[in-house]
Every structure is written in C-alpha cells, then in structure tokens.
Structure 1
C-alpha cells in the first residue's frame, strides 16, 4: 500500500501537464482570442513597443489548430505551429516520459544555443517590413 503514493507522486508532473493541456484546449475551444472582447490577454511587448515577439499570434494559432484550421494557424505564428510537436515532446520529457527510442534526441533539444539563434532570428525576421518577412507577422 505504501508503494501507491510513491507512484502517484512520481506520476504527478505528468498528470499536471496533461490536466493543464486539457484545460488549455478547453479554453481555446470556447474562447476566441480573435474577438474584440476576448478575455485572453494580448502581447504586452507589442502593446508597449509595437514589435512582434516570437510568440505573438501563438494563442490565435493554437486556437486555429484546436479548431482544425491549419492555414489560419500558420498565418498567425508559423514557428509556433511547426514547433508544437517538438514542444509537446519536450514537455513530456520534462514530466518524466523518456522512451529509449528518443534518448539521443533530448541532448540536442536541451542545447540552448540553437534555440537562442532560432528565436532571436525569428524575432528579427518577423519585424522586418518587407517581403518575404511580412508573412511572418500575425494576420
């Protein structure tokens, strides 16, 4: 009987992650971030500076994904859409799910320099005011 609480404690991060994901999907199913009266907050960086951060449009992109609209999701934040499967895998890894088949993947995904280059490069590119970079802006 004492082994059961230890297993529950070990599974707690995964359960909390799954619960958080379900809550996020439920919210995105019922709340439209595109609506003028949406309770979901906008990007504070864009509000203060007018610049688009790498995450700008990601809530609207996830809303579109939850509703099955891949085209609209890509129009809102292509990087968030393309990285969604990778971010889900990383979250599951952090929660303790570490299948042996993916063991070689985790060190590469944990390296901070490629993420820094990707995010800063995307941040700069989506704020450039000429084609083809303008299609990186939400809209």
Structure 2
C-alpha cells in the first residue's frame, strides 16, 4: 500500500533498474574522475613559453654581435679541423635574420634560415591548435625522413667546404 507522502522519481521508470556500480578490484586504485578540460590560457601556456624562450634567444643574438670575437665559442670542429659543420655560421645567420637582412642570413647559413621558417610554421600551427583546443602537433617523422634530413645536412656540409660551394660558407 502506498501513501500520499511517498516521493516518486519521475526520471526513472519503475521497470528500469539503476545503472550498476562497478565493484572495486582488490589491489587497484579506483578510477579518478575525468579532469575538466583545460582553459584556453592553460592550453596556450606551453606554446607561448616556447615562443618567449626562442624570441629571447634570438633577441640576445640580435644584440650581441657574433662578428666580434670573444662573445661566442668557436665551433669545435672548425677549430680542430678547419672544416665547416652544417651549423657553422648559424649565429651570424640568426643575427642577420633578427635584423631583417635575409640575404646576409642566407649567406651565413642557408640551412639555418630554412630551420627558422620551419620553426615559425610549427609555432603558428601549435598556437592555432592550442587556441582552438585541438591536439598538440607532434614532430613524429618516419625514420626515412630523419635520414633524409641528415643526408641534406651532410651534403650541405660537404658542398660548403668545397671550392665550388664557397658561396655557402659563412
């Protein structure tokens, strides 16, 4: 017999039982509740910090002239062997790039300039995805691509050390 004071849950019909709660597994911690979605400011923190560090480094190279001796260490490979590595001239390239002199930057180290543009493209993609709440871009290349990048760097290093490639030397 039901009384008038009995409450009836309208959201559940009497024929539908409540969902079962999983029984705790001995030795295993219960699952934590789902974390709330990060805010836009939190999503933008990592790419903004990365961009700030890169801009600070470029700003430092822009103000401290690499053409003046004593400010930066000499390339150890160049010092020991006289051979230019793929990175030789990178600081001079960054200095010229920071001052907007793209031709001088390309003359100091063309491969570094290509790297600046790849980095800029990656940062733009990362910032857009972070702003929109999309996945973080990953730099997951197949081994064949890494070998290709290494081969390009090796050819660049060899050619810039040969007489006909002296235009690539810093």
What TM-score comes out, normalization by structure 1 length? 0.73
Q: What is the aligned counterpart of 1:118 among 146, 149, 152?
A: 152
Contact 2:59 2:98 in 1 (8 A): no
What TM-score comes out, normalization by structure 2 length? 0.61
Q: CA deviation at 1:61?
A: 0.5
Q: What is the aligned counterpart of 1:14 among 47, 68, 78?
A: 47
The structure with higher relative contact order (CA 8 Å, sep 6+) is 1
Contact 1:13 1:96 in 2 (8 A): no
User: Which structure features the higher share of helix residues?
Assistant: 1
Distance verdict in 2 for CA 1:24–1:87, change over 3 Å: same
Equivalents in 2 of 1:97, 1:118: separation in Å?
A: 30
Contact 1:65 1:73 in 2 (8 A): yes
Higher gyration radius (CA): 2
Contact 2:108 2:169 in 1 (8 A): yes
Q: CA deviation at 1:36?
A: 2.1
Q: What is the aligned counterpart of 1:68 among 96, 100, 120?
A: 100
Equivalent residue, structure 1, for 2:61:
28
RMSD value over aligned CA atoms? Answer: 3.3
The alignment of Structure 1 onto Structure 2 pairs a total of residues equal to 128
Q: CA deviation at 1:11?
A: 4.1
Task: Report 1:100-139 matches (<5 A).
Answer: 107=141, 111-128=145-162, 130-131=163-164, 133-138=165-170
Q: CA deviation at 1:63?
A: 0.3
Deviations 1:26-53 (A, max 9, x none): 202211011123x222212111221111
Equivalents in 1 of 2:44, 2:149: separation in Å?
A: 28
Q: Which runs of 5+ in 2 are unaligned?
A: 1-34
Equivalent residue, structure 1, for 2:31:
none
The 3-state SS of whatever aligns with 1:55 is coil
Q: Which runs of 5+ in 1 are unaligned?
A: none
